Structure 1
Amino acid sequence: MVYKSFRINFIIRIIVLSATIFLLFYLVAQKSLYFTASLTFIAIIYQVYEIIRYVEKTNRLLKNFLESIRYSDFTRNFQVQGLGSSFDKLQESFNAVITDFQKIRAEKEEHYFYLQTVIQHIGISLIAFHRDGKVEMINNASKKLFQISNLKMIQDLKSFSPDLVNSLLSLKHGENTLIKVNDNDDILQLAVYATEFKINNRQVILVSIKNIQYELEEQEIESWQKLIRVLTHEIMNSITPISSLSTTLTTILDDFGENNTNRFEEQDLETLNEVKMALETIHKRSSGLLHFVDTYRNLTKIPKPNFSIFQVQKLFDNIHRLMEEEIKRNGIECEISINPESIELSADEQLIEQVLINLIKNSIHAVEHTENPKIELKAYMNTRGRISIQVNDNGQGIIKEVLDKVFIPFFTTKPKGSGIGLSLSKQILRLHGGTITAHSVPDERTSFTLTF
């Protein structure tokens, strides 16, 4: 029989137990019913056990409830029906607490997944790790930057850049640094900022890493352009009247000399001719300087790219036709490779053609005194999934001290060079959202890489 009240059930069990105990005493007093008395004693022990177990049911219920909280197991429902109104309220309280915990846990999980989505979606590389180098979190931007699928220890990045590993492990809270990394054909300028905090007795370092190579190049080019504008403006303002006045004075002296030839002595005529020659020299040099300045003004007047989609194979064919005669005349072996052959580029075809022609002419000049001269023009998808075009040669190469300066305006190693070809090329690539880099091993190999 199932009673609806814990209290009534408990009282009935006590009454039954008491009756059984009296029965035991009665049987013992008879002195002849020992077997029945033994069975009665066993029944008493069983009834005591059942009463204790029945009373401790609330303790077991409370223990299960606390274990649910301890182990974050909020899937249980506590059923204590049929034991009275007080137990019904206990059940309601237990289940209400469990429901509240479920809501809190769901909110925390939603918040966690929201933050994870934001962290993984953000374009800046983020890494959280311990002082010993153990990585707690790495986002997709970091995996893309380092070309990895997972990272367990910061030390595993040594193959990418030992300097970066040393900096990450030594950076303190609030510090930042700039690290240059040569990654195959790419030059990366990594700006690293560190924040340190404590979570559950764990010291965690969170670093943000951003490649600012493009921004640095853009600032550098803009600075050069501003300087060139100022210099060309001032020089043009000063030289133009000098050139004009020298021309005017030369004309006046010519007319004066023709009209007064008979009046001058031989010495005066010589002096007059010297003055004319001096004025002609001034005019010639000022005109040359004006032409020089006008040439460098091109650095600030690059047209905006007219983007179109075209096959790289077509671009290479056009360049090969234009340069074929000069290449053959210099006895140069030319090799062209495209992988995959179907690569298409979104760019201004004429501007990119101009850049490649300039690079090939530089290579032709570089291999003038090289045995078995060779120039290679290749296009491929680099490790970061970006289209790259490369011009290689086996010429004299560029020493390291000079390599860092080849893209600076006016800098040249050629006797008759202007120093604007590579600078123009760099600006053209910048307008395409790309970069141009140079690598060289003197007397072995020199490579200029255009990355889009």
Structure 2
Amino acid sequence: MVREADKRAPGSLSALHEELDRLRAVFHLSGDAIFVLDGEGHFLDANQVACERYGYSRDEMLQRHVGDLNTPEHAPHCAGRIEKLQREGAAFFETVHRAKDGRRIPTEINSRLIRGGSSTFIIGICRDVTERVRAEEELRRSNALLLGTLNSTADGILVVDDKGKIASYNRKFLELWKIPEEVAASGDADLALSNAVGYLKEPEVFMKKVLELYNEKEVESFDVLEFKDGRVFERYSIPLRVNDKSVGRVWNFRDVTARKRMEEEQQIFMSLVENSTDLIGIATLDGKVFYLNKAGQKLIGLDSLGEVGERRIQDFAFEKHFKPLQEMLASLSKDGTWKGEARIRDFRTGTPIPIEIHGFVIKDEKTGQPIALAAIIRDISERKNLQEEMARGDKLSSIGILAGGIAHDFNNLLTAIFGNITLAKMYANRQSEVYKRLEESEKAVERARDLTYQLLTFSKGGAPVKKTILLQDLVKESANFVLRGSNVKYEFSSPEDLWHVEADEGQISQVLNNLIINATHAMSEGGVFQVNCRNVIVDQSDLLLGKGKYIQISVMDHGIGITKKNLSKIFDPYFTTKKKGSGLGLSTSYSIVRSHGGNITVESYPGIGTTFQIYLPASEKGNMLPCAEEES
């Protein structure tokens, strides 16, 4: 080779040296490591980058075989690659080299075989791909994480490109829509859709929405899908953007069947609770009330849950009525349940309300641990009133039996006394003092006889002689008679079709007289009270009125009212707050009404007034003649 070079012209030799210099510069200035190996893989040369990368000097490199740079797991492949290179003349592969200090260097190698005369050389250009491998590894990790996340989510996810072809999906999507994996893997969205729409109640609506969203690439969407088998899905759809450009669409499907059923059950439960006529309340374990249904709010006089949430269980009772609630809380803590009676306050009126309570502890279904306190409370005011009415009736009945016996015997004695006084008057001089005394005695006996008759009426109801009467005429007659010359007036109202009653006209007139007299006494300074008649139907029997049609007569005054202490006694015989009263007027009225198969009730508030309500059974002989409203 040297001799051939010597034969060349001087200019040609100079050009060759320049070419060699350029090649040498490229060799040493390249950013990649460059090796020159003999045909067996021993180093003949290495550029500066190679020496620096692997940590060897050039002399150290020239004493090594290229296989020495491989890591143990890659070293066995070295001989095979050299053989392939000699056979094919070129090779491109990746491996991992190891530097002098043990560093692992992922490397991409592009090698070629060069033959020159009898010599063979291998040139290898080695590029450090550590950053790329690291980036690829990170990408693989991210993709694996993303794929794992997609496959672990409870939502079905489908990604399509801007041409509507399936780009990606998770297993939940296949499971929700019952689509074979080979169909989804084919990328054919139309085929996948044809498998899915048959399950829907409204497939046309579903497809219409799909087409709309494919055309409106930037639109986000949400709707609800209902299936023939009762399942319910929520469908979300958003554009898939890359560099702010829409390149497809992401569909998200969530099975909300269980949630919807739970919501429906909750709505049913809440409807039952909210429409219950009983108070239903829930409190925290430390006694803070946070829920009260509408009936409960109405019962205790609160307008909203906001007002309820400001109170604790202890706030719902007056101090003197707190003992039963203390017993309830102690029992709930020990046994988890309690039943009994108590009194809670009406926050609007400040009055106690008799109640029946069933308290219990709400527990977590899974752990069994207490999580809240609850109570179902029933207002038993009406029951208590009925019990009081029954007790009053029993008491009046007992007193009536006694009074009837006494009145009967007393009446016999009065008859004898009256007869003897009459005979004595026949023998006395009309101008004498004796005659005058006999007249006074006769008047006293008559008054005693009247009292006896009242006692008999009270004890037996006076054995009413019933006939069909027009109540509104009787009411007006009684009112007009009692109020003649009084500074108290009345307003009367009655429907035109007021039913008849079968009653003793005299006895009912006596009842009305008593009530109207009481109204005038209560309104001593004058005024107007109301008397109303109306038809009522009792469709549920109670202790004092059976089912059926009744006429209700209300006498409502606006006088001084009756104290709560006295209200429970007003029908008792001989109870009166009047200086000249006998105490038999209302008890007699009660007895008369009860003997007619009816009932009489009273409501009164001091300083506001009193309302008496009389219920008399309607006659079955037809309606009475029309009667217009009248004011007097």
Kindly tell me: are residues 435 and 366 of structure 1, through their superposed partners in 2, closer, same or farther at Cα, counting changes over 3 Å? Answer: closer
Q: Does 1:26 align with 2:109?
A: yes
Other structure's SS at 2:297 match = helix
Q: Secondary structure at the match of 1:411?
A: coil
SS at match of 2:606: strand
Number of equivalenced pairs: 357
Alpha-carbon spacing, 1:205–1:84, altered in 2? closer, same or farther (3 Å): closer
Residue 448 (structure 1) aligned to one of 608, 611, 630: 611
**Matched residue, 2:519:** 363
**Whole-angstrom CA distance in 2 between matches of 1:238 and 1:449:** 30
Deviations 1:16-72 (A, max 9, x none): xx94448954238987857xx46x66664554444434544553235424999xxxx
Structure 1 pair 24/109, CA: closer, same or farther in 2 (3 Å)?
same
Distance 1:344 1:157 in 2: 50
Higher relative contact order (CA 8 A, sep 6+): 1
1:374 paired to 2:537: no
* More helix, by proportion: 1
Matched residues in 2 for 1:183 and 1:44: separation? 76
Quote how far apart the aligned CAs of 1:224 are.
3.1
Query: 2: distance between equivalents of 1:303 and 1:60?
Result: 92
Structure 1 433/135 Cα, relative in aligned 2: closer, same or farther at 3 Å? farther
Q: Judge conservation of contact 1:176–1:194 (CA < 8 Å) in 2.
A: yes
Give the drift of 1:438.
Answer: 1.6
Q: 2:284 aligns with which of 122, 130, 134?
A: 130
| CA RMSD across the alignment | 6.1
SS of the equivalent of 1:406 reads coil
Quick one: distance in 2 between partners of 1:434 and 1:235? 21
- The reply to whether residue 221 of structure 1 matches residue 389 of structure 2 is yes
Q: Deviations over 1:257-307 (max 9, x none)?
A: xxxxxxxxxxxxxxxxxxxxxxx9xx9999778634431135698999x9x
Task: Give 2:378's aligned amino acid.
Answer: K
Do structure 1's residue 119 and structure 2's residue 292 form an aligned pair?
no
Aligned residue number for residue 417 of structure 1: 582
Query: Judging changes above 3 Å, is the alpha-carbon distance between structure 1 residues 298 and 125 closer, same or farther for their aligned structure 2 residues?
Result: farther
1:317-368 deviation per Cα after TM superposition (whole angstroms, max 9, x unaligned): 98567534643513x1436599xxx99999888999987654331132345x
- Percent identity for Structure 1 against Structure 2: 15
Matches within 5 A, 1:214-293: 214-233=382-401, 291-293=453-455
2:283 and 2:530 map into 1 onto residues whose CA distance is 43
Contiguous gaps of at least 5 residues in structure 1:
1-17, 69-75, 86-97, 252-279, 309-313, 380-386
By how many angstroms is 1:187 displaced? 7.6
Tell whether the 8 Å contact from 2:558 to 2:610 is kept in structure 1 after alignment.
yes
Q: Given the superposition, is the C-alpha separation of residues 209 and 336 from structure 1 closer, same or farther in structure 2, using an over 3 Å criterion?
A: farther
Q: With structure 1 as the length reference, what TM-score do the two structures score?
A: 0.54
Which residue in the other structure is 1:406 paired with?
570
Letter in 2 for 1:419: L
The CA distance in 1 between the partners of 2:296 and 2:574, in whole Å, is 38
SS in 1 for 2:110: helix
Residue-by-residue CA offset, 1:187-239 (whole Å, 9 max, x unaligned) = 87421425241445665332333222222222222233334444544665687
Q: Secondary structure at the match of 1:152?
A: helix
Q: Letter of the aligned partner of 1:376 in structure 2?
A: F
Question: Does the CA-based 8 Å contact 2:554-2:612 persist in structure 1?
Answer: yes
Structure 1: distance between partners of 2:142 and 2:183: 14
For 2:293, the equivalent position in structure 1 comes to 139
Distance 2:414 2:514 in 1: 37
TM-score (norm 2): 0.41
Is the alpha carbon distance of 1:155 and 1:185 closer, same or farther for their aligned partners in structure 2, counting shifts above 3 Å?
Answer: closer
Q: Compare CA radii of gyration and give the structure with the larger one.
A: 2
Q: Distance in 2 between matches of 1:175 and 1:234?
A: 41
CA distance in 1, matches of 2:348, 2:464: 29
> Does the 8 Å CA contact 2:355/2:379 hold for their aligned counterparts?
yes
Q: What SS does the corresponding residue of 1:359 show, helix, strand or coil?
A: helix
Whether 1:152 aligns to 2:306 is yes
The residue identity in structure 1 corresponding to 2:527 is K
